[in-house]
A = this chain, B = another copy of it.
Amino acid sequence: MILTVTPNPALDLTWRVDRLTPGATHRADAGALRAGGKGLNVARVAHAQGAPVLALSTAGGRSGIAFAADLAASGVAHRLVQVAAPTRQTVAIVDEELGDTTIVNERGANPTDAEWAALFGEVVDALPSARVLVISGSLPPGAPESFVPLLIGTARDAGVPAIVDTSGPALIRAAEAGASVLKPNAAEVADATGIGDPVGGARALIALGAELVLLSRGADGMLAVTADEVRQARLDAPLAGNPTGAGDAAVAACAVLYAQGVRDVDTVLRRATAWSAAAVPMPLAGDISDEWADLESRLVVASVLREEEP
């Protein structure tokens, strides 16, 4: 079973307008809502592809009720720790004419120590049945610094690899705690490590203790950086669509393979790049196109030469 932890879940609200004009008033049909947060998107993708999944998160307040109802409707197995603070909301306004999306993300409220302990307890309870642990998304402001490394260490002790998709100082701590896989993008690597060159930053995360860094590069595909090599996968031609959720699909691909015991870097890189690309044509994060195998067959994979070497 793939165990996902989403420490800062969100009720995602989406409205569609013809053309978004700042300062103007727009008419729209009723908005859509969805239980969101990166770890839940990972769980949705893996579940839709037939992998056993258990999604752990928190829910609180009126938004938490809507969040729990939507998650229940998704069919993804889950356990939600009840928290006092309302589940944060995100607002997406889709400009139908331009096709782009304007997003407002609430930062989220920090659970109490007892609520964090309850979430940790759910992970401990579920780890014996888990083949891989996924920790995905931001942490609420004020979250205990120890939470991510504690989860990774507890999973390691249980022989369960940890895949982590987060940013900021938590990315550094995840590397130090020995995460099996990190999935940052170039901006997140630069922000966390202070190293502008993405490959150099990824190598720094490996030096800290991570085994594999999957570095998503948008239309330029993905890099797999290990202590030994840098491999790149990219599509032969760019895809049109909505990249939201592409990173979560990459994490889902990685998690499904790790849960099957697969560790071959090229296999993981190819599947992660293909599922990531297959998320782009889909309107909602947490879905991938059935065409992913075709996309995987179109990938160009090569080693990246290290420029600083002869």
Binding site for B on A (CB under 8 A): 13, 15, 17, 20-31, 62, 65-66, 86, 88-89, 91, 93, 95, 98, 100-107, 109
Contacts and interface: CB of A to CB of B under 8 A. Distances in A.
Contact of A100 (B13, B23, B31, B88): B23
A24 B22 CA distance: 12
A148 B158 CA distance: 68
17 contacts: A15-B91, A15-B104, A17-B104, A20-B22, A22-B22, A23-B98, A24-B102, A25-B105, A26-B103, A26-B104, A26-B105, A29-B106, A29-B107, A30-B89, A30-B106, A30-B109, A62-B66
The 3 A-B residue pairs with the shortest CB-CB distance in the complex, in nearest-first order: A23-B100, A25-B103, A26-B104
Contacts of A29: 106-107
B102 A27 contact: no
A296 to B, nearest CB: 29
A20 B102 contact: yes
A125 to B, nearest CB: 30
A104 B22 contact: no
Contacts of A102: 20-24, 26
Contacts of A17: 104
Contacts of A23: 95, 98, 100-102
A215 B297 CA distance: 66
A93 to B, nearest CB: 6
A100 B22 contact: yes
Contacts of A25: 103-105
Given A15-B91, A22-B95, A95-B22, A104 B65 contact: no
A28 B62 contact: no
A206 B86 CA distance: 50
